[in-house]
Structure 1
Amino acid sequence: MDASKLFLFVFVSTIVYTAIVARADLPGTWELLVANAGVASMHTAVTRFNTVVLLDRTNIGPSRKMLRKGHCRYDPTDAVLKRDCYAHSVLFDLQTNQIRPLMILTDTWCSSGQFLSDGTLLQTGGDMDGVRKFRKFAPCESTGLCDWKELQDVELSEGRWYATNQILPDGSVIIVGGRAANSVEFFPPKPGGDIHFPFLADVEDNQMDNLYPYVHLLPNGHLFIFANDKAVMYDYKGNIIVRDYPPLDGGPRNYPSAGSSVMLALEGDYSTAVIVVCGGAQYGAYLERSTDTPAHGSCGRIVATQPDSVWEMEDMPFGRIMGDMVMLPTGDVLIINGAQAGTQGFELASNPCLFPLLYRPAEPAGLRFMTLTPGSVPRMYHSTANLLPDGRILIAGSNPHYFYKFNSDFPTELRIEAFSPEYLSADKANIRPVLEEPPETIRYGETFTVFVSVSLPVVGIVEVNLGSAPFATHSFSQGQRLVKLPVTSAMPSGDGRYSIGCTAPPDGRVAPPGYYMVFAVNLGVPSVARAFKSRHPKRI
């Protein structure tokens, strides 16, 4: 891992698709991409090669995709299949819709992940034989045979099950929490191993509502960490709580109470970071194994970088648990998937929430939510949502059962869908920009020029925005962020294109080193993502 480089690489999308309108009077369209992915994706990540890693757990018994001949997994402790020739991870090619099986050896149930600065997907922890494991997937072109690699020379200091990962400004990764793990540790490992983090113990309750904590890297270099109904600003270098935020009303929000969270787009001078937490289950639903206790629909929003800030409350149109919050290239947030009653856990939810919501941060409270076209496939426990380079949202997973079960009201879901926000509708085609090949390399803080072309004349500012590729699992996208670059007005270049002056992020606190999708956004309509590479950042 090269921690001294920020890579912003090309995500070129040549996908041709036709969308099926599910409800003409509401924005957005749905399409079926794959009828049978072979695995139900508990964890999903989009790579820089226009491929998607789908990952389930290994001890789930037979999937619907076989491994390559001669590549079976042998595990004498597996209660279902000691000789397992079924895939539990696959690679999905966005351009061909082809599925290739991947082989993973140790149990990845409720594990965590993050892309490293060199584009490798780091996968950490899980259950059983995977609880202390580090795994890596180095993505390759779809014609290659890249596969999972289990690291043998290093392991987690403490078992991590239901933990959260976040890449840091120097390119290392912090791993926060997990079941019975009130501590943090790092990859690459640091001397001394794990560090006790008492905040997680303080907020734990008899429902374990401190699992999969929400972790956001703030532009001041500290971490915003939320668990149960409380949050802190954490100096991970000194292991110091810098600030306690006020509790968020509405009860617990983390696993198993199943809310979600995003940090809104960083922009301007990058001094302000706003965190939003939405949805969750009523306290006690998990303890009582209640499937019909209504979810709540409250959202809290706080300026994390402002001293003495408090939560601003508002309500979604629907109560929702297990919803995924996805940062769109525009800076709006899509809330999708989930249910309106129950809690996280096997067969503990009901009344699927089929209506996505668009959260528009720039609107005043009370006007921020827009209801979008509903889907037809219930996406319950173990569903995921990820932004694609062409601006669509990939929807995968849903398996509320301990094993694969297809004769149920909410069966194991092997279909992969895509949701297209309204900005991809046909009437927006003339204002959709095309981002031309950007510079090959940039440096933190330097200025550079990009070129766009568009059918209609440009009116106003064309944004240039960087979107990370996070690791989505259990209603939270680990490492998700959107950075809006300072830009100059688009100027005609004399060849039918427009030139835009841009300034790169100042340092790794704003944009940690790694791979980013780079979008031009014209009048709220994003281009297909392209990218560039930055070297030799300023030292922090």
Structure 2
Amino acid sequence: MKIWVYLYASIATFLWVAISYVNCQAALYGQFDFIGYSGVSSMHATLSPMTYKVLFIERVELSTNVNLNGKPTYSVEFDLATSEIRPLTTLSNTFCSAGSYLPNGTVVNLAGAEAKQGVVQGFNQIRLFNPCNNGTCDWHNDVYTLLTNRWYPTVEQLSDGTLFIIGGSTSGVSVNNDTINEPTFETYPSITGTKPVPFQFLKDTLPHNLYPCVHLLPDGSLFILANTNATILDTTTWKIKSTLPKIPGPPRNYPLTGGCTLLPLDPSNNNQPEVLVCGGGNNNDSNTLKNVKGEFTCGRISPLSNNPTWEMESMPFSRVMPDITMLADGTVLILNGCNSGTAGFNKCSDPVLTPVLYNPKAPAGSRFTKMQSPSYIPRMYHSIALSVPSGQVLVSGSNPNNNPSGAGPFPTEFRVELYSPPYLFTGVPQPQIILAPDSLKYGQSFEIEYKAFSGTHKVTANIHNPGFVTHSTHMSQRLVWLEITSSDNGKLSLKAPANGAIAPPGPYLLRVLDNGVPSNSTWIMLSK
């Protein structure tokens, strides 16, 4: 009897120690949890505005596990609450496409690839999705098409909500070249005319200029980086406003793919913009893509400062194809990708399973933290990471195989994870938004009623567009801190951003943070 009592006590002690260790690890480094299956290879993803669902989009291929009306389909709606998927119509080949939101919350997915398996080409197609909560919404084609074929373009929202569409190639390719390069930009709806606008910058940055890094700056201009070159484009004259220094190190674009983000805008420093660019593939200035190693460095620049310069730092790990994802508290999560090789089919090895947290407010030299809570799922070429309303990050995808299969070292991946950052393991419950508006005008003063639990009453608030993500490119990703005009226990008086250059019109996640712990977000529509 005593032996069994001792045995049970020992097991209970072991379990208590194990659970305590797991909880301690999560509080320090966060935690990955498997939540379901995507049904399709989720190489493109975006939130469906005003819902708690995600749109997954893949390419036309043999790997899909989803059918609609007896035929394979390549896009689904993934419910964050239930992990259920709803098949959506495939109108054209969406491989290597791009996307964003319109001011009314419509999701736009444009460009793509060649006709395949009975599905028409998507190079110049514009596909629209009007979100709903009743399971009836689906993709439909616009009557308009792009002015030219585009594969691997980037989309960024402008200050009036118009979509800026730049670059790409006119067909699929391993490395871009001047025969198929598309060195132009256009807008949707068009405000730049009936022909694509030539852009010399995209000739000068060959061959590494696909999915260029583009961010709207608070003066209404655009920061654009391709290869190692960076420039600012005036969106009133459509001319180069200024040329910035080249980022040190190797090219940062496909197939030596790095990642970039606009760091959070904050009214307390007059919304001074900073851009962060990290990782990529270092080919040691070689003309070949053999023996490429991941790049350690990150560059940070204030493009509108009087003397823009790159501040260089090194990540704890080198990384090709990083996803640089904005977290709810304004820190940045760097995850996914590999340590050797390049973007492209079967060209990458040595997956980097451990995320890195970047704190933009910390002093240089102490901004990176290794999150010692790795995923066990390699996320290689065609992976995504997307912030979701709960304050977590949805992680999915990985399809590095030209002929998708369940075999080999990195099979086509359908498992979906949620990464929960350390701020969800503080022991303090997430604050709750009790009452908030569902629409805001620029410069509007408004109130939020909330319930907080930390006892510190250190409450902040922000709005967040997690963007449209594919191929390490987080299009229109943006987080803006809100000005607090007064704070009374349980009530915040806030001021909306002043204009569309700070936050373009459209849907945003609105949240409060209690001593750094974010609430579940609510959707708001921001407009003129």
Residue matched to 1:434: 432
| SS of residue matched to 2:297 | strand
Q: Which amino acid aligns with 1:380?
A: M
C-alpha change, 1:534 and 1:299, in structure 2 (3 Å) is: closer
* 1:445-472 deviation per Cα after TM superposition (whole angstroms, max 9, x unaligned): 1211111111232333x11100003100
* 1:154-198 deviation per Cα after TM superposition (whole angstroms, max 9, x unaligned): 111111110000111111101011121100001113433210011
Q: Note the C-alpha offset of 1:203.
A: 1.1
Using the aligned pairs only, state the percent identity.
37
* Corresponding residue to 1:455 among 453, 456, 472: 453
Whether 1:154 aligns to 2:144 is yes
Is the contact made by 2:334 and 2:358 (CA closer than 8 Å) also made in structure 1?
A: yes
How far apart are the structure 1 equivalents of 2:516 and 2:231?
A: 34
* Corresponding residue to 2:166 among 176, 182, 188: 176
Q: Which amino acid aligns with 2:445?
A: T
Once the two structures are overlaid, the 10-residue window that deviates more, 521-530 or 346-355, is 521-530
Residue matched to 2:398: 398
Q: Which amino acid aligns with 1:464?
A: A
C-alpha change, 1:134 and 1:343, in structure 2 (3 Å) is: same
How far apart are the structure 2 equivalents of 1:213 and 1:464?
A: 31
Residue matched to 1:7: none
Q: Note the C-alpha offset of 1:355.
A: 0.5
* Corresponding residue to 2:106 among 120, 130, 133: 120
Q: Note the C-alpha offset of 1:23.
A: 9.1
| SS of residue matched to 1:200 | helix
Whether 1:481 aligns to 2:478 is yes
Alignment of 1:267-278 (within 5 A): 267-268=266-267, 270-278=270-278
Q: Note the C-alpha offset of 1:22.
A: 10
Unmatched 5+ residue regions in structure 2?
1-18, 115-120, 170-180
Residue matched to 2:67: 66
* 1:319-364 deviation per Cα after TM superposition (whole angstroms, max 9, x unaligned): 0011100111211000010101111010111100000010001111
How far apart are the structure 2 equivalents of 1:398 and 1:328?
A: 22
C-alpha change, 1:224 and 1:361, in structure 2 (3 Å) is: same
* 1:219-268 deviation per Cα after TM superposition (whole angstroms, max 9, x unaligned): 00000000000110101321211111101111100111110001110012
Q: Note the C-alpha offset of 1:284.
A: 6.8
* Corresponding residue to 1:167 among 113, 137, 157: 157
Alignment of 1:65-84 (within 5 A): 65-69=66-70
* 1:132-173 deviation per Cα after TM superposition (whole angstroms, max 9, x unaligned): 1111111211x322111122x311111111000011111110
Residue matched to 1:526: 518
Q: Note the C-alpha offset of 1:62.
A: 4.7
| SS of residue matched to 1:452 | strand
| SS of residue matched to 1:123 | strand
How far apart are the structure 2 equivalents of 1:466 and 1:38?
A: 31
Whether 1:197 aligns to 2:199 is yes
For these two proteins, the number of residue pairs brought into alignment is: 487
Q: Tell me the TM-score normalized by structure 1.
A: 0.87
Alignment of 1:28-47 (within 5 A): 28-34=30-36, 36-47=37-48
Q: Which amino acid aligns with 2:433?
A: L
Whether 1:514 aligns to 2:527 is no
Q: Note the C-alpha offset of 1:24.
A: 3.0
Is the contact made by 2:320 and 2:339 (CA closer than 8 Å) also made in structure 1?
A: yes
Is the contact made by 2:63 and 2:412 (CA closer than 8 Å) also made in structure 1?
A: no
How far apart are the structure 2 equivalents of 1:284 and 1:108?
A: 33
Q: Note the C-alpha offset of 1:533.
A: 3.8
How far apart are the structure 2 equivalents of 1:239 and 1:161?
A: 22
C-alpha change, 1:21 and 1:510, in structure 2 (3 Å) is: same
How far apart are the structure 2 equivalents of 1:62 and 1:253?
A: 29
Once the two structures are overlaid, the 10-residue window that deviates more, 294-303 or 523-532, is 523-532
* 1:25-65 deviation per Cα after TM superposition (whole angstroms, max 9, x unaligned): 8511111111x32211110001121111000012x125212
Q: Note the C-alpha offset of 1:118.
A: 1.1
Q: Which amino acid aligns with 1:454?
A: A
Alignment of 1:13-28 (within 5 A): 24=25, 26-28=28-30
| SS of residue matched to 2:223 | strand
Residue matched to 2:176: none
| SS of residue matched to 1:24 | helix
Unmatched 5+ residue regions in structure 1?
1-17, 70-84, 493-497
Residue matched to 2:324: 325
* 1:81-132 deviation per Cα after TM superposition (whole angstroms, max 9, x unaligned): xxxx112111101112111111112111111111111111111111121111
Residue matched to 1:8: none
Q: Which amino acid aligns with 2:477?
A: Q
Alignment of 1:230-241 (within 5 A): 230-241=229-240
| SS of residue matched to 1:490 | strand
Is the contact made by 1:23 and 1:374 (CA closer than 8 Å) also made in structure 2?
A: no
Whether 1:304 aligns to 2:300 is no
How far apart are the structure 2 equivalents of 1:433 and 1:123?
A: 34
Q: Which amino acid aligns with 2:273?
A: A
C-alpha change, 1:382 and 1:533, in structure 2 (3 Å) is: closer
Alignment of 1:415-430 (within 5 A): 415-425=415-425, 427-430=426-429
Q: Note the C-alpha offset of 1:21.
A: 5.0
Q: Which amino acid aligns with 1:439?
A: P
How far apart are the structure 2 equivalents of 1:121 and 1:326?
A: 20
How far apart are the structure 1 equivalents of 2:127 and 2:100?
A: 11
- Where relative contact order (Cα < 8 A, 6+ residues apart) is larger, the structure is 1
Is the contact made by 2:40 and 2:63 (CA closer than 8 Å) also made in structure 1?
A: no
How far apart are the structure 2 equivalents of 1:253 and 1:490?
A: 43
* 1:398-425 deviation per Cα after TM superposition (whole angstroms, max 9, x unaligned): 0001132111101100111110000111
Is the contact made by 1:322 and 1:337 (CA closer than 8 Å) also made in structure 2?
A: yes
How far apart are the structure 2 equivalents of 1:490 and 1:219?
A: 27
C-alpha change, 1:346 and 1:50, in structure 2 (3 Å) is: same
Once the two structures are overlaid, the 10-residue window that deviates more, 447-456 or 319-328, is 447-456
Q: Note the C-alpha offset of 1:381.
A: 0.1
| SS of residue matched to 2:204 | helix
How far apart are the structure 2 equivalents of 1:124 and 1:22?
A: 43
Residue matched to 1:109: 95
Q: Which amino acid aligns with 2:348?
A: A
| SS of residue matched to 1:423 | helix
Q: Which amino acid aligns with 2:201?
A: F
Q: Which amino acid aligns with 2:140?
A: K
Q: Which amino acid aligns with 2:385?
A: A
Q: Note the C-alpha offset of 1:307.
A: 2.0
How far apart are the structure 2 equivalents of 1:215 and 1:176?
A: 9
Whether 1:144 aligns to 2:130 is no
* Corresponding residue to 2:462 among 465, 468, 472: 465
Is the contact made by 1:21 and 1:28 (CA closer than 8 Å) also made in structure 2?
A: no
How far apart are the structure 2 equivalents of 1:67 and 1:362?
A: 47
Whether 1:352 aligns to 2:351 is yes
Once the two structures are overlaid, the 10-residue window that deviates more, 182-191 or 252-261, is 182-191
How far apart are the structure 1 equivalents of 2:262 and 2:333?
A: 13
C-alpha change, 1:166 and 1:243, in structure 2 (3 Å) is: same
Q: Which amino acid aligns with 1:357?
A: V
Is the contact made by 2:33 and 2:418 (CA closer than 8 Å) also made in structure 1?
A: yes
How far apart are the structure 2 equivalents of 1:262 and 1:317?
A: 19
Q: Which amino acid aligns with 2:500?
A: G
**CA RMSD between the two structures:** 1.9
Q: Which amino acid aligns with 1:452?
A: Y
Is the contact made by 2:294 and 2:340 (CA closer than 8 Å) also made in structure 1?
A: yes
Q: Note the C-alpha offset of 1:283.
A: 2.7
Q: Which amino acid aligns with 2:382?
A: H
